[in-house]
Amino acid sequence: MLNWNDVIKYANHGNLAPERRVEKTDDEWRVQLSEEEFRVTRGKGTEGRFTGEHCSRYDPGIYSCVCCDTKLFDSGEKFDSKTGWPSFTQPVQPNAIKYEKDGGFGMVRIEVMCNVCDAHLGHIFPDGPAPSGLRYCINSVSLKKLENEK
């Protein structure tokens, strides 16, 4: 189980290697993604609070990257953080997520990205529930829900 010390270590010293890599040009991503998906995942944007389709979904399944279909989060790790974005306590695998320091908006946060295609997903915070204490705060638009898959 990942914890905040692991996240800081990866952000400072490098991430685990992904199982594969997907790299495309911005033009290739624009053909594949909606305008909002591109703005958030490739342009490091943020969707509005309580606007995403996955914010209040808790049905069983796996959430994958909207860009490359990499499995990222299991619905069993999802919780209601009351922040307005889907929140998870753990990724499906430690190497599914990439962590980088983000100094935007006058603060230092840890950005989380798909480790396979570098899609911006959101940020992680150390204020989640036990036992990990992690809260992956994720943009709905960066996720695709895989139905009937566990």
- Is-catalytic flag, 68? no
Check whether 69 has a pLDDT greater than 70: yes
Query: Which residues make beta-bridge pairs with 146?
Result: 62
pTM: 0.94
Q: What is the mean pLDDT of the chain?
A: 94
Q: Where are the domains of the chain?
A: 4-14+22-146
- Separation CA 59–CA 27 (nearest Å): 34
SS3 37: helix
* Residue at 58: amino acid letter: Y
What pLDDT is attached to residue 122? 97
SS3 52: coil
Out of 55, 68, 117, 137, which one is annotated catalytic?
A: 137
Q: For 138, list phi and psi in degrees, rounded to 5.
A: -120, 140
What pLDDT is attached to residue 148? 65
CATH number of 4-14+22-146: 2.170.150.20
pLDDT tens, position by position, 28-42? 999 999 999 999 999
Give the tokens for residue 52: 């995403």
Buried b or exposed e, range 48-76, using 16+ CB within 10 angstroms: eeeebebbeeeeebbbbbbbbebbbbbbe
What integer is the mean pLDDT of 45-62? 93
What integer is the mean pLDDT of 11-26? 97
What's the Cα-to-Cα distance from 75 to each of 22, 125, 142, rounded to whole Å?
24, 19, 15
The distance between the two most distant Cα atoms of the chain, rounded to a whole number of Å, is 42
What pLDDT is attached to residue 63? 97
pLDDT tens, position by position, 110-131? 999 999 999 999 999 999 999 9
Residue 29 CB partners (closer than 8 Å, separation 6+): 38, 41, 42, 67
How far is CA 20 from its chain centroid? 17
